[in-house]
Amino acid sequence: MKKVLKFFITLMLCINSVNVFAQYIEKQIDLYHLSFENKNLTTILDSIILHEKKCNYYDCNLLFSFRIQKFEDNDILIVIQSNNSIDLLLCIDPYGFFYYKNHMFIVFGDSLQELFSICGQKVSFKYLEEDLDYILEQNTKQKYDKNKILELDFIIDDSFSQWSYRYLNGEFIFDGKSSFCN
């Protein structure tokens, strides 16, 4: 009887662990290895990393997103945000990455050739993306219908720090900071 019970418990744990991984799809993305051309960026990155080292979530594997957004009036907004999930950052359609002081920065949004240049071939990264079809089926008990409009609520983790800068004529102009640590 004990062997049957042990077998049954082991079987249930295996089934449950498969169910946990079923909600993710393994994907791969190729990103350009970038180097930054504007040396003023070094000062900004130094101050951001120094600030992050004081935060309770900091560790040497902390990542950063680096978003570039160009506007019609030639205004350029750059937002740098700390993050601890490479899976999340690789899901936002980045085009490149660079390392600075052993931290990886994932670059997405508009390309800005005066700020970054490609310094090597593309590098492949594997990541996990949430399987929205699976999540929808599990939560609504309905099959996914591509013709039906869905409203999905995503919770954004705002516990990490974020800095925004305007980029004008090769200069960075501080626009604001959001952080819960000192």
Distance from C-alpha of 29 to C-alpha of 93, rounded to nearest angstrom: 9
Question: Do 172 and 44 touch, CB atoms closer than 8 A?
Answer: yes
Residue 61 lies in a domain: yes
Residue 61, pLDDT score:
93
Residue 7 lies in a domain: no
Residue 120 pLDDT exceeds 70: yes
Confidence category of residue 167, pLDDT binned at 50, 70, 90 = very high
Residue 180, pLDDT score:
82
Residue 5 pLDDT exceeds 80: no
Residue 18, pLDDT score:
45
Residue 15 lies in a domain: no
Question: Do 47 and 172 touch, CB atoms closer than 8 A?
Answer: no
DSSP string, 33-96: EEEE--THHHHHHHHHHHHHTTSTT--TT-EEEEEEEE-TTS-EEEEEEEES-HHHHHTT-EEE
Residue 38 lies in a domain: yes
| Structural domain boundaries, residue 81 | 26-178
DSSP string, 79-94: EEEEES-HHHHHTT-E
How many structural domains does the chain have?
1
The C-alpha R_g of the chain, in whole angstroms, comes to 21
Question: Do 112 and 48 touch, CB atoms closer than 8 A?
Answer: no
The verdict on pTM exceeding 0.85 is no
Residue 8 token pair: 């049954």
14-23, 47-56, 63-72: range with lowest mean pLDDT: 14-23
pLDDT above 70 covers a percentage of the chain that reads: 71
Residue 6 lies in a domain: no
Residue 15 pLDDT exceeds 60: no
Confidence category of residue 19, pLDDT binned at 50, 70, 90 = very low
Burial per residue of 9-22, b for 16 or more beta-carbon CB atoms within 10 angstroms, e otherwise: eeeeeeeeeeeeee
Residue 16 lies in a domain: no
- pLDDT tens for residues 52-111? 999 999 999 999 999 999 998 888 999 999 999 898 899 888 999 999 999 999 999 999
- Give the mean pLDDT of 145-164: 69
CB atoms within 10 A of CB 44: 16
Residue 129 pLDDT exceeds 90: no
Question: Do 105 and 97 touch, CB atoms closer than 8 A?
Answer: yes
**For residue 32, what are the contacts with CB-CB under 8 A and spacing of at least 6?**
95, 96, 97, 118, 120, 122, 123
Residue 129 lies in a domain: yes
Residue 148 lies in a domain: yes
Adjacent-strand bridge partners of 114: none
Confidence category of residue 152, pLDDT binned at 50, 70, 90 = low
Residue 27, pLDDT score:
87
